[in-house]
Amino acid sequence: MNPTFLQTPIDYLKGVGPNRADLLRSELGIHTFQDLMHLFPHRYIDKTRYYKISELERSNAEVQIIGKFTSMKMVEGKGRRLVATFRDDGGQMELVWFRGHKWIKEAIKMNTPYVIFGKCNYYNGKFSMPHPEMELLSEHEKSIRSAMQPVYPSTEKLSNRGITNKVVNGVMQTLFMEAKNHLFESLSKPLVTELKLMPKREALFNVHFPQSQEHLARAQYRLKFEEFFYIQLQLAFKNVNHKTKIKGYPFEKVGPIFTTFYNDHLPFELTDAQKRVLKEIRHDLGTNAQMNRLLQGDVGSGKTIVALMSMLMALDNDFQACLMAPTAILAVQHYQGLLELCKELNTSISLLQGSTKASERKIIHEQLENGELDILIGTHALLEDKVKFKNLGLAVIDEQHRFGVKQRSKLWHKNEYPPHVLVMTATPIPRTLAMTVYGDLDVSIIDELPPGRKAIKTVHRYDANRLKVFKFIRDEIALGRQVYIVYPLIQESEAMDYKDLMDGYESISREFPMPEYQISIVHGKMKPDDKEIEMNRFIKGETQIMVATTVIEVGVNVPNASVMIIESAERFGLSQLHQLRGRVGRGAEQSYCILMTSHKLSSDSKVRLETMTGTNDGFEIAEVDLKLRGPGDITGTQQSGALNLKIADIIRDNDILKVARSYAWQLVKDDPKFEKEENQIIRFMYAQMMKFKNIWSYIS
């Protein structure tokens, strides 16, 4: 494929011109010939058959007919309309236009063969077709015709300005006429042969002008495979590059601190999943390359103990470690948890956050620089320039999607070599998405809960059952437990959400009056300090009920809270419901999640509620969520633009993704510099993509 020709601005294509070019740029992001060629149809209309008027049925289907115009007249009345009679040798029908009368009257040639296409209506014993597509039979026979008529993505503005599907189709034909000598193969011969892929030129032609259903399917497979293949190649390359070019400190031994903790102070037996993950981390830390690992595990699966033991490996090799959390509450929680776990070990741990006093900061800064401080836990405060380590060997980042890339990279520059990085998340990332968005990270998964943890019981209740739910809350509080009641928070309707929350708070206060019951309330309009006071009252057990919007923090650990009630559960996404459910079930007692809804439920809401009551497996839930919401929503704003796919779909085409991934990673393993003769085309294409990042900037 000639890259320079395809980078020609779209203005220079015959039939486009400056005005249309501006519209195509602003509405569809089409700047070059290549962009236009990659504007793939989103559906096709079957134009393999020409109907006789006598064969038409009352089905409102799209049909194609050959015939002649025999008469035309303006009909006045409710909205003027132009009506023409159209005949073939089997009968006649009416064609109707409600606008554009002057142009149509001037353009139509009477008693000349035309091909018309459109939706048929049947009324008062007659067939009619409003605003048909029309083409002289002589022109129709000359144009590049495909059996399947492509329908391209469009916008209201394009339609209003006359850039119809027919116009785009015509421009596409011109492009293919001009580009046919500039389209070359972009995959290696062994790949094309082994996978029996359609050649590139043929595939592009058939996706825009398919000759048959079979040709279209083969063309789509070929182009989807190629799109996934080059994304995976970038990820594999990034991964290998990282391991070869970015040096890390090798942790050569597992020493006394780790061993003492493992043998004498581990509060519980590690699960097999935790042992497997520790082995993977241990292997990474033992090499000369910087570790870049994502640790996924559902809420309560025991990620923190794995993080601590990884930090102890750093200490054994005379390095320091740090743990960065997105909020002060979480940082304090990690700090208290690690202090408790390490109380028998000779290690020094400190906490640094925005509210740390200047005098304490000074001590922490000094101890960090002279190496007296082993582990520093904190919030964004760890990223300040004043925070200098003597030798930072491992940085653990909790819920990394809450930190920007620039923020994370600051940790890298605290040393001569970047520290090893362990990123933790309790947000299960569907395997399909992990293969693309996080494809360059090594991924470890803790997929079992520690022994003694009981699965949370989840039930769905309608508003009509509210009194029974209140009785259940009373019974749980009588047993000494605590309860969360969460209300939705949706930015667009903040005032309404606030009202819902306050109405809910008032009705709960009536049902659970003081002094017998104490209630905390937390919402987005409160000052951060007030919010923290209320959260801490609940954490300390001074209040039995926490009424909140979704601002209650990810990861807040209140082992005594055993009931999570989610109001208007139909307004939440699946991953949010799963995250909220994870606030309970942290103690040894049986925990419950109650999803409250009205009787009016959409089909998607029903699927979400059935999924929640049917499984506690975060990965299973994430896969359903991905199918319901699509990859764009699920990656959220942090990864916006992460998957700017042109033809492939990571959900529907998951099987093609897996094949492309295995071939791409194998290629990088076998020929990392693309030196083999057969891989020269891939080397060239890869270099071009890096040069013209405009359509290949998939990776966030």
pLDDT digits (tens, 9 = 90+) for 552-563: 655 567 889 999
Pair 487, 557 in one domain: yes
**Amino acid letter for position 34:** Q
In a domain, 534, yes or no: yes
Domain holding 66, by residue range, is: 48-144
Backbone φ and ψ of 626, nearest 5°: -60, -40
Pair 472, 432 in one domain: no
- For 227-241, 248-262, 680-694, which range has the lowest pLDDT when averaged over its residues? 680-694
Of 110, 126, 144, which residue sits at a domain end? 144
pLDDT recorded at residue 246: 78
CATH number at residue 585: 3.40.50.300
Assess whether pLDDT exceeds 80 at residue 128: yes
pLDDT tens by residue, 591-614: 999 999 988 888 889 999 999 999
Assess whether pLDDT exceeds 50 at residue 452: yes
Determine the Cα–Cα distance for residues 645 and 226; give it in Å rounded to an integer: 11
In a domain, 674, yes or no: no
Of 446, 467, 502, which residue sits at a domain end? 446
In a domain, 192, yes or no: no
At residue 635 the predicted structure's pLDDT band, cuts being 50, 70 and 90, is: very low
Closest-CA residue to 191 (of 696, 528, 548, 670): 670
pLDDT tens by residue, 47-85: 778 899 988 887 767 889 999 999 999 998 777 899 999
Pair 413, 466 in one domain: no
pLDDT recorded at residue 365: 93
Assess whether pLDDT exceeds 80 at residue 407: no
Contact 512, 452 (CB under 8 A): no
CATH number at residue 111: 2.40.50.140
Pair 491, 565 in one domain: yes
- pTM for the whole thing? 0.66
Backbone φ and ψ of 557, nearest 5°: -110, 105
In a domain, 333, yes or no: yes
- Inter-CA distances, 261 with 93, 109, 374, 389, 637, Å: 88, 91, 15, 24, 40
Stronger pLDDT, 138 or 638, i.e. the higher one: 138
**Amino acid letter for position 4:** T
Which helix (H) or strand (E) element contains residue 612?
helix 603-614
pLDDT tens by residue, 89-124: 989 999 999 888 888 998 999 999 999 998 888 888
pLDDT recorded at residue 476: 95
Tally the domains of the chain.
3
In a domain, 628, yes or no: no
Contact 62, 117 (CB under 8 A): yes
Assess whether pLDDT exceeds 60 at residue 157: yes
Residue in this structure with the two tokens 């995250």, named with its chain if needed: 579
Closest-CA residue to 450 (of 553, 643, 587): 587
Q: In what order do the strands lie in the sheet with 482-486?
A: 457-462, 592-597, 561-566, 482-486, 545-548, 519-522
pLDDT recorded at residue 620: 83
Q: Within 13 A of 385's CA, how many CA atoms are on the CB side? A: 0
Stronger pLDDT, 322 or 212, i.e. the higher one: 322
In a domain, 347, yes or no: yes
- Inter-CA distances, 300 with 79, 296, 456, 588, Å: 67, 11, 11, 12
Determine the Cα–Cα distance for residues 445 and 422; give it in Å rounded to an integer: 12
At residue 637 the predicted structure's pLDDT band, cuts being 50, 70 and 90, is: very low
Contact 612, 577 (CB under 8 A): yes
Pairing outcome for strands 81-88 and 62-75: antiparallel
Of 92, 112, 144, which residue sits at a domain end? 144
Pair 372, 275 in one domain: yes
Q: What percent of the chain has pLDDT over 90?
A: 45
Assess whether pLDDT exceeds 70 at residue 642: no
pLDDT tens by residue, 270-294: 999 999 999 999 999 998 888 888 8
Other CB atoms closer than 10 Å to residue 395's CB: what's the count? 27
Which DSSP letter does residue 261 get? I
In a domain, 549, yes or no: yes
Residue 121 pairs in a beta bridge with 128
pLDDT recorded at residue 435: 66
